[in-house]
Amino acid sequence: MEVTGITVEQLVDSTKLDRKLVEAIVRGNFTPSPSQRQRLSAALGVSPEEISWDHAVPVEHMRGNGPQFGRST
């Protein structure tokens, strides 16, 4: 997003995705689905392969995962 100069609000408007979802994807807390990657890539003018396909935050730090829930990673 820094390269394109687009804001989160502009990205929400052009993709028609929920604002909280877009913010989570931008922060790396949510992995977009293939259709979401298509919409994001079209809005940003890049290929879908350039849209991150992985979490930036380790999964054990996300709610509902980790040893305290019996699902250690």
As a whole number of angstroms, the distance between CA 14 and CA 51 comes to 16
- Tell me how many domains the chain contains: 1
Residue 16 carries which side chain, given as an amino acid letter? K
The answer as to whether 20 is a domain residue is yes
**pLDDT greater than 70 at residue 9:** yes
The model's pLDDT over 46-70, given as tens digits with 9 standing for 90+, comes to 998 888 766 666 655 555 555 555 5
The answer as to whether 48 is a domain residue is yes
Q: Which of 4, 8, 9 is nearest to 27 (CA)?
A: 8
The answer as to whether 23 is a domain residue is yes
Put simply, whether the predicted model's pTM sits higher than 0.75 gets the answer no
Q: Are 28 and 52 in contact (CB under 8 A)?
A: yes
Token code pair at residue 37? 């990657």
The answer as to whether 3 is a domain residue is no
The answer as to whether 2 is a domain residue is no
Token code pair at residue 41? 């890539």
**pLDDT greater than 70 at residue 31:** yes
- Residue the block writes with tokens 């100069």: 5
> CATH number for the domain including 19?
1.10.260
The answer as to whether 65 is a domain residue is yes
Residue 5 carries which side chain, given as an amino acid letter? G
User: Domain range spanning residue 30?
Assistant: 8-69
